[in-house]
Amino acid sequence: MTKREIISNRRKRERIKINNLNDFKDALKKEGYKINYFDEEKFKVEVANAFKVENSVIEELYKCIGQEDVTYRADNVSDLINYMKKIILFEYEHDRLWKKINSIKILNINRIEYERDAISRDDVEDMLSDIKEVKKNVSRIANEKEKEKLEILEKEIDNDYLYSKDIELLKKMLLIKEGRVKESYNINTKVKTISIEVPKQIDYQYITPQKGTIEYHQHLNNNIPRMQRLIKNINKYMKVHEEEKSVFKINQSKTLQDSINIAVAIYDNKEFKAISGSNNIKDYCHAPTKDESFFKSNKVNKLGEFGIGYDRINDSEKKIIEEIHKQIEAKVLKDEGNLTLYSKWEPCPSCCFVISQFCKKHPNIEVQVKYHKKYGE
């Protein structure tokens, strides 16, 4: 058994299980909270004060643990209180989102699905030594300050755009009944279309974990931010039908990839930012077309296998390298100096090969790449 498994099993054994008010009071006593346990109204107020929460959170707690068929599991009492806060927030955001979309009768969601095509493996043997050289001499782990810079950029993007996983949550909400959806696939455009008849009312049936479980709590933590992004940004992605004003469409392929990479480079006193994917974001580097690209990208699949999968022409590192090269050629930037590229993820084999090509084209530029997470983590 690994150390991680031992710690996980210990945490499971130490979790509190709350089925009623007495369980809750016992948990408080065991954790050393000195609260008036005899006067119920004072008890509620003192619990709210102890955990610095609104009285509504304690009322939600009473309501939840009053359901005899549900047992709430949490790491400790503080975690249980957080659980209640998340339930309140989730239901609030659910209602806000529903008010935003409940006038829609039909929602058509389009998404490009290239993975339906059988893809051959390319011969990349002659590139492997260049990639190995880049990994050995150029790539380094970023320090905490450098990681923070990338995290700030990611938070800014989170605020203004939707991810594909946000649309997947929306689908799950709307597809609570069978027979309300039609699917089609255009083999020429590679576009899959899901046409959803929007129900007249939506409850919380789309939440698959059982209420009270650790998994339910994790669901709340994961999906509250997705709902908040949908509420704020869905209008940027929805288009109304020209004739039917209650029919809308969303191009899911215009949303951000779930596991986007964010990169930023500093060269010649200028900053260059990019994210992976086909999206165009203001003040970020864009990918040139394949014909306009100077550096060759290659196929890499989700497992990191080189020479198979899809062409990484839209990777963030490549966008930045192409833009810097373009400005050097235009005499906007000088052709010597130090280039430092910070990336959330370790560059994939395709990006390593792009960096290798750049180093050969511009030998007077010292390139260093620093990344936050190793590829495949």
pLDDT in tens, 250-263: 999 999 988 889 99
* Percentage, residues of the chain above pLDDT 70: 94
Reported confidence tier of residue 1, pLDDT bands at 50, 70, 90? very low
Torsion of CA 243, 246, 247, 253, to 10 degrees: 120
Confidence of residue 58 (pLDDT cuts 50, 70, 90): very high
- Residue among 277, 299, 309, 313 nearest 349 (CA): 299
Nearest to 14 by CA among 284, 228, 154, 6: 6
Structure confidence at residue 123 (pLDDT):
87
The whole-number pLDDT of residue 6 equals 41
**How is residue 59 written in tokens?**
């009322």
Q: Write down the pLDDT at residue 116.
A: 56
Report whether 325 contacts 103 (CB < 8 A).
Answer: no
pLDDT at 14: 79
How confident is residue 374, by pLDDT bands cut at 50, 70 and 90? confident
> In the predicted model, what is the mean pLDDT of residues 139-147?
90
High-pLDDT (> 90) share of the chain, %: 74
Q: Which residue has the higher pLDDT, 340 or 114?
A: 340
For residues 185-208, give the mean pLDDT: 91
Residue 353 reports pLDDT greater than 60: yes
Mean per-residue pLDDT, 65-91: 95
Give me the pLDDT at residue 12, please.
Answer: 58
Mean pLDDT of 41-48: 94
| Average pLDDT score over residue span 162-179 | 89
Taking all residues of the chain, what is their mean pLDDT, rounded to a whole number? 91
Q: Which of 15-19, 201-205, 351-355 has the lowest mean pLDDT?
A: 201-205
Burial of residue 365, with CB atoms counted within 10 A of its CB: 0-12 exposed, 13-18 middle, 19 or more buried: buried
Distance CA 107, CA 128 (A): 46
pLDDT value at residue 115:
61
Q: What strand order describes the sheet that includes 139-141?
A: 139-141, 365-373, 337-345, 262-267, 270-275
Cβ–Cβ under 8 Å, residues 106 and 82: no
- Amino acid 113: pLDDT: 84
- Rounded to whole angstroms, what are the CA distances from 185 to 56, 116, 119, 250? 48, 10, 19, 15
**Band of pLDDT at residue 304, cut at 50, 70 and 90:** confident
- The residue-averaged pLDDT of 300-317 equals 91
Beta-carbon contacts of 299 under 8 Å, excluding residues fewer than 6 positions away, are 119, 121, 122, 306, 307, 308, 309, 310, 311, 312, 350
Helices 77-101, 55-65: axis angle to 10 degrees equals 100
pTM for this prediction: 0.85
Can you name the residues that pair with 195 across neighbouring β-strands?
108, 182
At residue 10, the pLDDT reads: 53
Mean pLDDT of 144-159: 92
Q: Which of 90-104, 166-180, 326-340, 357-371 has the lowest mean pLDDT?
A: 166-180
Highest mean pLDDT among 125-134, 198-207, 275-284: 125-134
Collapsing DSSP to helix, strand or coil, 306 comes out as: strand
State mean pLDDT over 243-247.
89
- Arithmetic mean of pLDDT, 268-289: 91
Q: pLDDT band for position 176 (50/70/90)?
A: confident
Span 15-37, mean pLDDT? 93
